[in-house]
């Protein structure tokens, strides 16, 4: 049976990355025959000339903008200016050229980092503008949030169909395990596996373990994006997540158990914690396009640990 995507020409920015590769695979499963994955060496999407050339070459009906310059707390602190500029320019220019070319639909992936530092939990879309983001990742979060401003302005003035999704932290097989740029789950998995391999008696972790986070398995995130691309055409932001949170300490204990590391978890209080709590209110996604997360958390962690063990010799450091 033909699907919504069967005859669409789809550009997936970031389509060779962690989330993007899963989105591309799911598009293919739904019968999409024309998928264009721009590589950074061919199309530097920070440059307007490259964005125009991409639209010329791909002639898309649908753009799924998943590309981002992103990393953990340390990477955000070290690259605040670059993270702001690169993410702002990619989103702004891709949407502007799409408007100029009469693109049928633009799906933008923002970030939970855009929420204010002290947002009431669970985070509701109505609270996105209720304060300033957590300082360590504010430049990245604000750059991504500008896509919501642009999408709403372009819909109002030009009738341009752009939607913006706000996912929680993703995890799963194929994640970025570079300790300088990775998020918390791959970083914890790598630290525990390497400590176990060396026979270390302890693993040192950032902060005090008290912050909470919500995590979404990558396959669920990809499914949410495609459901929204097919069924949602509104101007309101939409949270994408599970609605369940876990403290970083409890997360570290789960990962240590799945890895088989039996040593001590030591917390370095001189390192920043980041935002105190993150947990989304996710009913809007269910109401508007029928998305609910399916993957059980511990099983998702288990799959991710297995993947890392199989591929750890292939991990390459990411340089900015």
| Helices 184-198 and 297-311, axial angle in degrees (round to 10) | 60
Q: Which of 279, 281, 285, 278 is nearest to 236 (CA)?
A: 285
Instruction: Dig out the tokens for 309 from the structure.
Output: 């063990």
CA distance 205 to 188: 8
Q: Which of 167, 144, 285, 274 is nearest to 215 (CA)?
A: 167
Write down the mean pLDDT value for the chain.
94
Instruction: With H, G, I as helix, E, B as strand and everything else as coil, classify residue 171.
Output: strand
Instruction: Dig out the tokens for 306 from the structure.
Output: 């297995």
Confidence of residue 277 (pLDDT cuts 50, 70, 90): confident
Q: 3-state SS of 1-43?
A: CCCCCCCCEEEEECCCCHHHHHHHHHHHHCCCCEEECCCCCCC
Q: Which of 194, 167, 178, 186 is nearest to 300 (CA)?
A: 186
In sequence order, what are the residues at sequence separation of 6 or more whose Cβ sits closer than 8 angstroms to the Cβ of residue 16? 37, 39
Share of the chain above pLDDT 90, in %: 84
| Helices 218-231 and 18-29, axial angle in degrees (round to 10) | 60
What's the confidence (pLDDT) of residue 305?
A: 97
pLDDT in tens, 137-169: 899 999 999 999 999 999 999 999 999 999 999
- Dihedral (CA of 115, 120, 121, 124) sign: negative
pLDDT score of 320 more than 60: no
Confidence of residue 272 (pLDDT cuts 50, 70, 90): confident
Specify the residue for token string 């590769």. Answer: 21
A 10 A CB-CB count for 92 gives 17
Strands of the chain (E only): list them: 9-13, 34-36, 62-65, 105-109, 162-167, 169-171, 202-206, 212-213, 215-217, 238-240, 246-247, 264-268
Overall pTM > 0.85: yes
Phi, psi of 63, deg, nearest 5: -115, 125
CA distance 93 to 99: 10
Please tell me the number of Cα atoms within 13 Å of 278 on its side-chain side: 28
CA distance 29 to 35: 12
The catalytic residue positions are 140
pLDDT score of 317 more than 70: no
pLDDT in tens, 229-244: 999 999 999 999 999 9
Superfamily name with CATH number, domain 9-314: NAD(P)-binding Rossmann-like Domain (3.40.50.720)
pLDDT in tens, 20-70: 999 999 999 999 999 999 999 999 999 999 999 999 999 999 999 999 987
């Amino acid at each position: 049976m033909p699907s919504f995507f069967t005859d669409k020409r789809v550009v997936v920015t970031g389509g060779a990355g962690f989330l993007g590769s899963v989105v591309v695979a799911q598009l293919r499963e739904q019968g999409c025959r024309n998928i264009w994955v721009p590589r950074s060496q061919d199309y530097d999407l920070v440059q307007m000339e490259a964005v125009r050339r991409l639209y010329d070459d791909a002639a898309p009906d649908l753009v799924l903008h998943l590309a981002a310059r992103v990393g953990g707390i340390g990477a955000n602190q070290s690259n605040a200016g670059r993270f702001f500029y690169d993410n702002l320019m990619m989103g702004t220019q891709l949407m502007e050229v799409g408007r100029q070319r009469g693109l049928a639909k633009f799906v933008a992936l923002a970030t939970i980092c855009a929420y204010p530092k002290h947002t009431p939990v669970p985070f509701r879309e109505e609270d996105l503008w209720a304060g300033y983001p957590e300082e360590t990742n504010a430049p990245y979060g604000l750059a991504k949030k500008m896509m919501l401003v642009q999408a709403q302005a372009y819909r109002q003035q030009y009738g341009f169909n752009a939607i913006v999704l706000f996912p929680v932290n993703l995890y799963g097989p194929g994640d970025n395990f570079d300790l300088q740029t990775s998020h918390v789950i791959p970083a914890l998995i790598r630290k525990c596996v390497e400590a176990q391999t060396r026979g270390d008696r302890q693993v040192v972790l950032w902060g005090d373990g008290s912050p909470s986070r919500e995590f979404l398995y990558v396959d669920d995130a990809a499914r949410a994006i495609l459901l929204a691309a097919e069924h949602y055409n509104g101007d309101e932001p939409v949270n994408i997540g599970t609605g369940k949170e876990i403290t970083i300490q409890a997360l570290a204990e789960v990962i240590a158990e799945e890895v088989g590391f039996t040593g001590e978890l030591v917390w370095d209080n001189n390192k920043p914690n980041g935002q105190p709590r993150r947990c989304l209110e996710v009913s809007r996604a269910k109401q508007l396009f029928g998305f609910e997360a399916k993957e059980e958390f511990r099983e998702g962690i288990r799959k991710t640990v297995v993947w890392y063990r199989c591929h750890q010799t292939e991990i390459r450091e990411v340089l900015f």
